[in-house]
């Protein structure tokens, strides 16, 4: 099955609704899914996901390197989410890339409409995930583009404005791909595999890398809706550059939602479903969602570091034992991501439903 060529209903840009006095019905979540709006000033009192300094990974100090790996291991097992600082991507480039996207989303609507996307590839300017007619939608617009594989990278599908944007977005992608490779090595070692094992399982140099820049306009009734509904990321690993000024990302920890407080110039890293599958559920992707703000818009850059799309992804045999048989059947990422592309974000329902039948008896 493939995605249809077009959306089931006319697209409404959420940005065009941000001055309405009330949230239209299409965006009102059922009561159990509604968030409790937390003013930014209260967030500092809450628990936060671990913050890990990556400097130790590249230095000569073996003890520091081992300690850093161990922090990453614990964060993957306990949280599935962590922040990294001293990660090697220049703060100036991070700021400039956010600035490019802010300028893009503030262009006149008719200029942005030239990049309107369709569910066939999702590339371009979008305002919904999923194609179910009448679905309750999220309070966000986004822009989706590919970096890798190179055959999918098409500058014509990247915004031409602001005029310095493509170069900056390109540079940002190169740097974040490098960071993804370093983190994947750490995960691989922590799983007791060779440092290149996971990268090879992802397809070596032929990985997929794409960016979704999320734009969450301010919202008149933030306790009735969500910027992005609860989901786990379908891909390998996500490297998120969150808004430094406006919190919004919430991570599910046990039965609570923890609001992430981004450290200055940190990236937020999370395990996606494909690493859950490859690691035979040693690492788990974690549900997260985004709340919106009554006074401020919010911008985030979600960089998806994914396996090559047409190779079967399955638990690596080194992590399959008689006590822990393979939990998932092989599936290509191309097949896997169709679920979210058709249905929109739905918690962890997909990866849970894929458990091999013999393990659900
Ligand atoms: O905006 C955020 O902080 C998170 C975005 C996210 O979860 C996603 O794009 O999948």
* Residue 265: C-alpha distances to residues 56, 118, 211, 243 (Å): 17, 33, 18, 10
Closest by CA to 346, choosing from 203, 132, 159, is: 132
- pLDDT 10s digits, 168-183: 999 999 999 999 999 9
83, 214, 303: residue to mutate for ligand 1 pocket, most atoms within 8 A of CB: 214
Rounded CA separation 54/285 (Å)? 21
- pLDDT 10s digits, 59-68: 889 999 999 9
Task: Report how far ligand 1's centroid is from the alpha carbon of 323 (Å).
Answer: 35
pLDDT given at position 355 = 77
Rounded CA separation 167/155 (Å)? 10
How crowded is the C-beta side of 118, counted as CA atoms within 13 Å?
Answer: 6
The residue contributing the CA closest to ligand 1 atom 8 is 302
Rounded CA separation 124/104 (Å)? 12
Rounded CA separation 191/149 (Å)? 26
Residues 47 and 246 sit within 8 Å (Cβ to Cβ) = no
Closest by CA to 186, choosing from 257, 84, 285, is: 84
Q: What is the pTM assigned to this prediction?
A: 0.96
- pLDDT 10s digits, 274-322: 999 999 999 999 999 999 999 999 999 999 999 999 999 999 999 999 9
How many CB atoms lie under 10 A from the CB of residue 176?
25
- The encoded tokens of residue 359 equal 């393990």
pLDDT given at position 340 = 83
Q: Is 261 near ligand 1, meaning CB less than 6 Å away?
A: no
Q: What is the mean pLDDT of each run of 10 residues along the chain (361 residues)?
A: 86 97 98 83 72 93 97 97 98 98 98 97 97 97 98 97 98 98 98 98 96 98 97 97 96 93 97 97 97 97 98 97 95 90 86 66 37
Residues 298 and 222 sit within 8 Å (Cβ to Cβ) = no
pLDDT given at position 353 = 80
Structure letter (DSSP) for residue 315: -
Which atom of ligand 1 lies at the shortest distance from residue 140's CA?
1
Q: Is 242 near ligand 1, meaning CB less than 6 Å away?
A: yes
How crowded is the C-beta side of 155, counted as CA atoms within 13 Å?
Answer: 10
Which atom of ligand 1 lies at the shortest distance from residue 212's CA?
9
Rounded CA separation 200/237 (Å)? 15
Closest by CA to 133, choosing from 6, 290, 289, 291, is: 6
Q: At what angle do helices 165-190 and 91-105 cross, to 10 degrees?
A: 130
Residues 89 and 308 sit within 8 Å (Cβ to Cβ) = no
Which positions ≥6 away from 211 have C-beta within 8 Å? 143, 144, 145, 147, 169, 173, 301, 302, 303, 304
- The encoded tokens of residue 206 equal 């032929």
Walk me through the domains of the chain, giving residue ranges and CATH numbers.
Answer: 14-359 (2.60.120.330)
Q: Is 210 near ligand 1, meaning CB less than 6 Å away?
A: no
Using the CB atoms, write b or e for 250-262: b if 16+ within 10 Å: bbbbeeebbbbbb
pLDDT given at position 298 = 98
Q: Is 298 near ligand 1, meaning CB less than 6 Å away?
A: no
């Amino acid at each position: 099955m493939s995605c249809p060529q077009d959306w089931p209903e006319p697209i409404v840009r959420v940005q065009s609704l941000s001055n309405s006095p009330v949230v239209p019905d299409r965006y009102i979540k059922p009561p159990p899914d509604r968030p409790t709006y937390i003013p930014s000033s209260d967030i500092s009192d809450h628990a936060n996901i671990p913050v890990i300094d990556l400097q130790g990974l590249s230095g000569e100090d073996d003890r520091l390197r081992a300690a850093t790996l161990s922090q990453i291991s614990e964060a993957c097992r306990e949280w599935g989410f962590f922040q990294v600082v001293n990660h090697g991507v220049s703060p100036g480039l991070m700021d400039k890339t956010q600035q490019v996207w802010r300028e893009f989303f503030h262009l006149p609507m008719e200029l942005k409409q030239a990049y309107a996307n369709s569910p066939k590839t999702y590339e371009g300017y979008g305002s919904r995930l999923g194609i179910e007619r009448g679905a309750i939608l999220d309070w966000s617009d986004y822009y989706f583009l590919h970096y890798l594989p190179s055959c999918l990278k098409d500058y014509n599908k990247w915004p031409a404005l602001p005029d310095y944007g493509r170069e900056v977005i390109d540079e940002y992608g190169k740097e974040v791909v490098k960071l993804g490779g370093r983190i994947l090595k750490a995960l691989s070692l922590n799983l007791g595999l060779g440092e290149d094992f996971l990268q090879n399982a992802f397809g070596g140099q032929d990985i997929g890398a794409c960016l979704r820049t999320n734009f969450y306009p301010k919202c008149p009734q933030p306790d009735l809706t969500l910027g992005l509904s609860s989901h786990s990321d379908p891909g390998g690993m996500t490297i998120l550059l969150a808004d430094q000024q406006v919190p919004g990302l919430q991570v599910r920890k046990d039965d609570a939602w923890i609001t992430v407080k981004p450290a200055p110039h940190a990236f937020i890293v999370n395990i996606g479903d494909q690493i859950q599958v490859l690691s035979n559920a040693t690492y788990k992707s974690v549900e997260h969602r985004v709340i919106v703000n009554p006074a401020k818009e919010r911008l985030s850059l979600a960089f998806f570091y994914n396996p090559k799309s047409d190779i079967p992804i399955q638990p690596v045999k080194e992590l399959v034992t008689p006590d822990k048989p393979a939990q998932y059947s092989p599936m290509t990422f191309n097949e896997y991501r169709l679920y979210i592309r058709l249905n929109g974000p739905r918690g962890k329902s997909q990866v849970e439903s894929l458990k091999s039948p013999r393990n659900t008896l």
